[in-house]
């Protein structure tokens, strides 16, 4: 009788887990949406035509409002808190309003219109790991625009952000840094003792992990944006720490040790 009862409890537990996983998978269903806004007022200045500013925002909409709010908040935090953006449409309208106001008041002819592009793409999704790539490009004058890429890491089961601290054992962060530096030096064709101070922007020449990361199919991928450790002309720098190098570093039962 006891064995029968234990089997019954096990069946109920497995069924409950399956139902929960099915619910989360449904919430992870998404479609992409696009917002495009352009200056409504075309005008000339000193007899020259001023091109309209443009905004394009592409982003996923999930069945889960919680996930949608997480993504939106990450994007809103990128902008000045004084703007108090509440929607992607708000961001687009505010940017165009700012450009039109600037172009109208500027004493000089605006040679190149402002532009803003935001693109958010889903990289990986499972009940325990959602990874998104957030690309932000804006041009508001100067020699060139600025492009930044951020990775958003989220656990749909717990509805929490995934940080690097939540993936690495408490006393193994330094070990991760050491492993990553060896890989970095190999990628950059540097010896194990060559100084990092002259070629890179590491503070006092000390190697530092990028805060920007996500878990790819091959391992833990860090990305340095332009200007972060190299000049703008050098572009992005990726640093992949393979799963094999994380065996004794990663916390058990995380995305680094249990692949979706």
- pLDDT the model gives residue 15: 46
Q: Which of 11-15, 31-35, 68-72, 76-80 is predicted least confidently?
A: 11-15
Same domain, residue pair 36 and 157: yes
> What is the number of structural domains in the chain?
2
pLDDT of residue 144: 82
- What is the length of the chain? 260
In a domain, 252, yes or no: no
Mean pLDDT of 35-40: 91
Higher pLDDT: 93 or 51? It is 93
pLDDT in tens, 127-139: 999 999 999 999 9
Categorize the per-residue pLDDT at 45 as very low, low, confident or very high, splitting at 50, 70 and 90: low
Instruction: Judge if 152 and 85 occupy the same domain.
Output: yes
133 and 222 assigned to the same domain = no
Check whether residue 221 and residue 234 sit in a common domain: yes
Confidence grade of residue 8 (pLDDT, cut at 50, 70, 90): very low
Indicate whether 240 and 153 sit together in one domain: no
Cα 33 versus chain centre, distance: 18
10 pLDDT exceeds 60? Answer: no
Shared-domain flag, residues 217 and 96: no
Final residue belonging to a domain, choices 161, 179, 206: 161
Model pTM? 0.85
Is it the case that residue 234 has pLDDT exceeding 60?
yes
Q: Are residues 51 and 69 in the same domain?
A: yes
Query: What is the reported pLDDT for 221?
Result: 97
Q: What is the pLDDT of residue 9?
A: 43
Q: Of 161, 176, 196, which residue sits at a domain end?
A: 161
In a domain, 176, yes or no: yes
| Mean pLDDT rounded to a whole number for the chain | 87
What CATH number should be reported for the domain holding residue 98?
A: 3.30.565.40
3-state secondary structure of 100: helix
Last residue of a domain, one of 141, 161, 181: 161
188 domain residue, yes or no: yes
DSSP E strand stretches across the chain: 30-38, 43-45, 48-50, 54-62, 115-126, 129-139, 146-155, 160-161, 213-215, 219-224, 237-242
Check whether 215 has a pLDDT greater than 50.
yes
Judge if 104 and 89 occupy the same domain.
yes
What is the residue range of 229's domain? 164-246
Q: Are residues 236 and 138 in the same domain?
A: no
Would 234 be classed as within a structural domain?
yes
Please indicate, yes or no, whether residues 64 and 49 belong to a single structural domain of this protein.
yes
Residues 204 and 90 in one domain: no
One domain for residues 234 and 174: yes
DSSP annotation of 233:
G
Q: Could you read off the pLDDT of 83-126 as tens digits, one per residue?
A: 567 899 999 999 999 988 888 887 776 778 899 999 999 999 99
Q: Is the pLDDT of residue 7 over 70?
A: no
Q: What percent of the chain has pLDDT over 90?
A: 64
């Amino acid at each position: 009788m006891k064995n029968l009862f234990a089997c019954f409890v096990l069946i109920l537990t497995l069924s409950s887990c399956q139902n929960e996983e099915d619910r989360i998978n449904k919430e992870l269903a998404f479609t992409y949406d696009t917002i495009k806004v352009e200056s409504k007022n075309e005008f000339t200045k000193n007899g020259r035509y001023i091109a309209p500013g443009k905004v394009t925002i592409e982003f996923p909409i999930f069945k889960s409002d919680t996930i949608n709010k997480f993504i939106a908040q990450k994007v809103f935090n990128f902008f000045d808190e004084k703007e108090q953006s509440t929607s992607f449409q708000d961001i687009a309208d505010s940017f165009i309003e700012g450009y039109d106001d600037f172009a109208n008041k500027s004493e000089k002819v605006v040679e190149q219109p402002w532009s803003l592009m935001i693109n958010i793409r889903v990289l990986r999704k499972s009940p325990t790991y959602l990874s998104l790539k957030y690309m932000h490009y804006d041009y508001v004058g100067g020699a060139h625009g600025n492009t930044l890429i951020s990775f958003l890491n989220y656990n749909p089961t717990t509805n929490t952000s995934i940080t690097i601290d939540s993936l690495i054992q408490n006393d193994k962060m330094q070990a991760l840094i050491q492993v990553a530096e060896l890989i970095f030096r190999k990628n950059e064709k540097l010896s194990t003792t060559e100084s990092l101070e002259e070629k890179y922007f590491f503070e006092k020449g000390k190697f530092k992990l990028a805060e920007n990361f996500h878990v790819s199919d091959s391992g833990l991928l860090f990305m340095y944006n332009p200007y972060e450790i190299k000049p703008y002309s050098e572009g992005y720098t990726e640093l992949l720490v393979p799963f094999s190098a994380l065996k004794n570093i990663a916390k058990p039962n995380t995305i680094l040790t249990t692949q979706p």
